[in-house]
Structure 1
Amino acid sequence: MRTTDLAFLKRFSMVIAFLFLVMVGLILFAHHLNGKVEYPTDPAAQQRLQDRIGPVGAVYAGATGAAAQAAAAAAATAALTANVPFEGRTDGAEIFNNGPCTGCHTAGVGGAPKLDSAGIGARASAQGIEELIKKATAGFTGTAGTMPAKGGNPALTDDQIKAVVEYMVAQSKK
């Protein structure tokens, strides 16, 4: 029985050694193929990389720098005005009826004054229109509720907020 066990162990060891060599050969072959394959770069990943390692600011020097600075300022202004709601129009009625204002001020939600003489009209008489414009622009927390800055739409300009408040006060007098 001892010779048969030794013969089995010898053959079994040879099979294990052969399988080990096949495994090492396959690993080396896969590594070789992986080195030959060119993977396409993901444009989104490239952009994220450039954003991370790009310069934080810009240096403007001399006459060329002044021109570049003016162009950058003009581009920044154009980008800001492109995001202004209602395309920058200052029609108080349009902004009130289509913007965030009508949701609260029509029904008096959260203590918002309605468009009548007891609501916004009384506040305009007591505080003045300039104070209402200031509170509408910066936001206000009163005892009855909270008015978010610019009615919850920070993209509205100060001129648009002023037009809306003036429209609301005019409506309270009708």
Structure 2
Amino acid sequence: MRNYDLDFLKHFSMVIGFLAVVTLALLVLANHLNGVIPPEVSPTAARATQARIAPAGEVYAGATGAAAQAAAKAAATAAAAAQVAYDGTLDGSVIFNNLCTGCHTSGVGNAPTMDKAHWAARIAQGTETLYTHAIEGYTGPDGGIMPPKGGNPALTDEQVKATVDWILANLE
């Protein structure tokens, strides 16, 4: 007499074991494929990478280079003029609070803070000199650095002058 239950359990156990081995093999294959296939690069990350590795400058040589340099400068000037900062406001407090406050309230980069003692020698040079330094940039004898237009080339000269006037009127 044959024991059919024992045969069934033996075959069923072999099927379950085979399925477990197949499952493990599929898990290992999926893990391997996940490591081999490169992830997709988002368009935002690709643009950020391109901006980060873009050349810092260009080389112009000879007469054609001079023409190309002049054209590039004109294009940069036109692009900067098309993007007026802070909607073209001439309210010095708006520009100061959005741009200048980072350096001129904490003294970063030896920037003069908003008290008259730090500005006395600068004021003695005259407002035209202050305008020129604010517009064109300046490195002081103490190593203090004023970037051109406070680091925002989209500012117009009038906006910079309005901000300098506001700073001078609001010194403590």
Amino acid at match of 1:112: A
| CA distance, structure 2, for counterparts of residue 92 and residue 156 of structure 1 | 11
Alignment partner of 2:125 out of 124, 127, 146: 127
Alignment partner of 1:136 out of 116, 134, 137: 134
Amino acid at match of 1:93: S
Q: CA deviation at 1:110?
A: 1.1
| CA distance, structure 2, for counterparts of residue 132 and residue 82 of structure 1 | 26
RMSD of the TM alignment (CA)? 1.9
Where do residues 155-174 of structure 1 align in structure 2 (5 Å cutoff)?
155-172=154-171, 174=172
Distance 1:86 1:132, change over 3 A: same
Instruction: Count residues in correspondence.
Output: 95
Amino acid at match of 2:159: Q
1:95 aligns with 2:98: no
Q: TM-score scaled to structure 1, two decimals?
A: 0.50
Runs of 4+ in 1 over 2 A off after TM superposition: 79-82
Q: TM-score scaled to structure 2, two decimals?
A: 0.51
Amino acid at match of 2:170: Q
Q: CA deviation at 1:144?
A: 2.7
Q: CA deviation at 1:128?
A: 1.1
Amino acid at match of 2:129: E
- SS of 1:118's equivalent in the other structure is helix
Contact 2:90 2:162 in 1 (8 A): yes
1:112 aligns with 2:111: yes
Contact 1:81 1:88 in 2 (8 A): no
Unaligned stretches of 5+ in structure 2?
1-76
Q: CA deviation at 1:120?
A: 2.5
| CA distance, structure 2, for counterparts of residue 83 and residue 165 of structure 1 | 21
- 1:20 is matched with none
Where do residues 139-150 of structure 1 align in structure 2 (5 Å cutoff)?
139-142=137-140, 143-150=142-149
| CA distance, structure 2, for counterparts of residue 148 and residue 81 of structure 1 | 18
Q: CA deviation at 1:122?
A: 4.1
Identical aligned residues as a percent: 54
Amino acid at match of 1:117: K
Q: Which moved more, 1:111-120 or 1:161-170?
A: 111-120
Contact 2:135 2:149 in 1 (8 A): yes
Contact 1:115 1:121 in 2 (8 A): no
| CA distance, structure 2, for counterparts of residue 80 and residue 110 of structure 1 | 26
Larger-gyration structure (1/2): 1
- SS of 2:117's equivalent in the other structure is coil
Distance 1:154 1:80, change over 3 A: closer
